[in-house]
Structure 1
Amino acid sequence: MYRIKELGLTLDIDDDLISNLLDIGKKHYPNEFGGFLIGYYSESQNHLRITDTILPNKYKGTPYMFERETIGVESKLKQFYTQNPKKYYVGEWHTHPNNLAIPSAVDIKAVKSIADDPEVSIKNPALLIIGYANNKIELGFYVHFKNKIYRYE
């Protein structure tokens, strides 16, 4: 379980899903790749459970950039919601090949634009960055909360 003690927030994600994301990221190495995170917040909104991912149908990735489109994603989101009405879009994930799991200025701007988008029904989007540096894998879980980015420990 990951925590941000100062905010009283927690996050959990199954090891199987993390393994799946790592495998997907490795297939696209040395380019960045990512997708959408699916899950739900507790009723109190202080615990996030990440359960699934949706991969983009259309994307562009280089060793230092990842852009995805949302074409076709809405129908996949509806499928999750139909199967389990408490599951919905909770954020984004992507890889940082040969780099640390620290959000870039572009990452921070993207998460802020998600939080500020009136068509997105989530106030505190999560961000997972998977860093592959020096033959080590680092996971960085973040949340956009009250206009700032915080890292889960």
Structure 2
Amino acid sequence: MIERWVSDLKKAGRKEIGGVLFGEQVSEGDFRVAEATRQRFFGGTAATFNRRGGTARREILALHKKFGGNPERFNYLGEWHSHPNVPALPSLRDETTMYQLLADQGEAVNFLVLIIVKLGGDARFHICATTYLASGHKLNCEIEIEDAEGNAATSDEEDER
């Protein structure tokens, strides 16, 4: 997934891109991103990524079908997008959007994750993940990146941001 994000970030250049996250619950409070969709490279500007709600809903329904319709294990996890021109940290607009998405879900979900990615000027990949709770709180997430064999390495937060 990281390789695809890096490729997409290079193609998008200075424009923001993004999509939805579909996750697998591995254990209580522990989730794995099973799929990260990508919306086409239109609509993004240097400072915004406009999520296409209808497209996102269709992608989520298709992923439910792909992963066997087992929502207790596989489900919509949240959103991702890039920040090519600012740090890979949530903006005030990002936070407002995530809380609005939570409100739109009603009681169907009690949290959503936002991942922000960026290619730095040194071509290093930066990633930040934040969990937004229906209670109005937010939590920074620990990120583990698996290699092709499934071995995980915890990211060094200072290196990633």
| Alignment TM-score > 0.5, same fold | yes
Please state which band the TM-score falls in when normalised by the shorter chain. Answer: 0.7 to 0.9
CA displacement at 1:43 relative to structure 2: 5.8
The residue aligned with 1:141 is 129
CA displacement at 1:38 relative to structure 2: 0.7
Q: Where is the strand percentage greater, Structure 1 or Structure 2?
A: 1
Q: Give structure 1 regions of 4+ aligned residues with deviation exceeding 4 angstroms.
A: none
CA displacement at 1:60 relative to structure 2: 1.5
Structure 1 spans left out of the alignment, 5+ residues: 1-16
Q: 2:89 aligns with which of 102, 110, 128?
A: 102
RMSD: 2.2
| Paired-residue identity, % | 21
2:47 corresponds to 1:38 = no
2:140 corresponds to 1:151 = yes
**Is the CA contact (8 Å cut-off) linking 2:17 and 2:38 kept in structure 1?**
no
**Is the CA contact (8 Å cut-off) linking 1:77 and 1:89 kept in structure 2?**
yes
CA displacement at 1:75 relative to structure 2: 3.2
Deviations 1:88-115 (A, max 9, x none): 2110001111321111000110111112
Q: 1:52 aligns with which of 21, 32, 35?
A: 35
2:119 corresponds to 1:114 = no
Letter of the 1:152 partner, please give it. C
Distance (Å, rounded) in 2 between the aligned partners of 1:103 and 1:111: 10
2:112 corresponds to 1:125 = yes
Q: Secondary structure at the match of 1:92?
A: strand
Letter of the 1:143 partner, please give it. T
Structure 2 spans left out of the alignment, 5+ residues: 143-161
Distance (Å, rounded) in 2 between the aligned partners of 1:74 and 1:103: 23
Query: CA separation of 1:117/1:152 partners in 2, compared to 1, >3 Å: closer, same or farther?
Result: same
Query: CA separation of 1:117/1:64 partners in 2, compared to 1, >3 Å: closer, same or farther?
Result: same
CA displacement at 1:53 relative to structure 2: 1.6
CA displacement at 1:58 relative to structure 2: 8.3
Q: How many residues align?
A: 136
State the TM-score, normalizing by the size of structure 2.
0.73
